[in-house]
Amino acid sequence: MEKEAKGMPLLGDSFPEMRVQTTRGEIHLPNDLKGKWFILFSHPADFTPVCTTEFVAFQKRYEQFKELNCDLIGMSVDQVFAHIKWEEWIKENIGVEIEFPIIADTGEVAQKLGLIHPGKGTNTVRAVFIVDGNGSIRIIFYYPQELGRNMDELLRALKGMQISDSKKVAMPANWPDNELIGDHVIIPPAKDVDAAKDRLKKAKEKEFECYDWWFCHKKLK
């Protein structure tokens, strides 16, 4: 019988329930992190140059992620002792101690999330899942082995989604340094004629600024 192909979960899906062994003990995802955001990121393999630079970069921003109520969880198809030895190598040779857990996957997690790199054996792709406090997948990034991730972009994306949720606004390109509206946020477009007229009226009253009724923005308070 042909094995059913499994792909990556989609945006808005619930993060699949799983019990995983990590360098910090067993974790039940997403249940153990209910009420907190988390970023699960996979890397191809331990003791590889690009992955080492990524882990150092994540660790150097770990406090910034925690300030946004977000945990970090690494993952690759490596045994836990390999993760531990790699952590020790990073500390001894680079002077950075990795504090977040790393999943020691047997391949089951990677298969469930659709992360096995085509034609690269058991190597996992550089995927990033940003999951909210309700266990819903909000953002997915997907990178090839050859390109390391930009952690500042992950911080920006996380912060932007949290602001979008709490303020009911959208974030422009390159926020908070957009070429058109600077650090302003975008007000969702009006959904009917009356709302469109009201939108322009409020713009005249300086409640926010508009290029037109469908493109209004304001300073985030």
Q: Widest CA span of the chain, in angstroms?
A: 67
Q: Six-digit token pair at 191?
A: 């959904």
Proportion of the chain above pLDDT 70, given as a percent: 94
206 Cβ partners below 8 Å, 6+ apart? none
State the pLDDT at residue 198. Answer: 83
pLDDT reading at 67 higher than 90: yes
How many residues are present in the chain? Answer: 221
The H or E element that residue 37 is part of is strand 37-42
Q: Does 3 score more than 60 pLDDT? A: no
* Omega cis (within 30) before 49: no
Q: Which structural domains are found in the chain, ordered by start?
A: 18-149 (3.40.30.10), 168-221 (3.30.1020.10)
- Which amino acid does the sequence have at 32? D
Is the peptide bond preceding residue 30 cis, with omega within 30 degrees of 0?
A: yes
**Is pLDDT at 119 greater than 70 in this prediction?**
no
Average pLDDT on 103-116 reads: 87
> What crossing angle do the helices spanning 49-60 and 80-94 adopt, rounded to 10°?
70
Rounded Cα–Cα distance for residues 7 and 140 (Å): 13
Q: Answer yes or no: 70 catalytic.
A: no
- What is the predicted pLDDT for the residue at 4? 44
Record the pTM: 0.90
Give the other-Cβ count within 10 Å of 203's Cβ.
19
Distance separating alpha carbons of residues 36 and 70, to the nearest angstrom: 6
Burial per residue of 152-169, b for 16 or more beta-carbon CB atoms within 10 angstroms, e otherwise: eebbbbbbbbbbbeeeeb
Report the distance separating Cα 55 and Cα 131, nearest Å.
19
What's the mean pLDDT when you consider all of the chain? 91
For residues 114 and 196, give the distance between their C-alpha atoms in angstroms, rounded to a whole number: 43
Q: 100, 74 in Cβ contact below 8 A?
A: yes
> For residue 1, is pLDDT > 80?
no
The pLDDT-based confidence of 5 (bands split at 50, 70, 90) is: very low
Residue 220 is encoded by which pair of tokens? 């985030």
pLDDT at 172 over 60: yes
Count Cβ neighbours within 10 Å for each residue of 206-219 and write b for 16 or more, e otherwise: eebebeebeebbbe
Mean pLDDT (whole number) for 71-89: 95
> Of residues 51, 70, 210, 216, which has the active-site annotation?
51
Question: What pLDDT band is residue 200 in, cutting at 50, 70 and 90?
Answer: confident
Per-residue confidence band for 2, with pLDDT thresholds at 50, 70 and 90: very low
Least confident of 82-86, 153-157, 208-212: 208-212
More reliable by pLDDT, 47 or 122: 47
pLDDT of residue 7: 61
